[in-house]
Amino acid sequence: MSNTIDTRGLSCPQPVLLMLQAIEKGQNNEFLVLVDTETAKENVIRAATSKGWQASIVESKENESTILLKKE
């Protein structure tokens, strides 16, 4: 089971910073990140892939997206 990082309602760069903190802890190889803006979605995906993680959208509706991050 993956951990979930809920960043809905937060402004950038907070979603990216929370995701990076979780990655740096190194406790899990898989995370779900919940975002509610297009900017947060793009920034989380860009930051995760730059750190060597795979990012994919598993659910997207209106203003919310769920991003699955997996360590490659």
Tens of pLDDT, residue by residue, the chain (72 residues)? 469 999 999 998 999 999 999 999 877 899 999 999 999 999 999 999 999 999 999 999 888 999 999 997
pTM: 0.91
- Identify the burial level of 25 via C-beta atoms within 10 angstroms of its C-beta, where 0-12 means exposed, 13-18 middle and 19 or more buried: exposed
Interatomic CA distance for residues 36 and 24, integer angstroms: 23
CATH code (residue 36)? 3.30.110.40
Written as six digits, the tokens of 56 are: 């994919």
The boundaries of the domain holding residue 49 are: 3-71
How many structural domains is the chain composed of? Answer: 1
- Tell me the pairing of strands 30-35 and 64-71: antiparallel
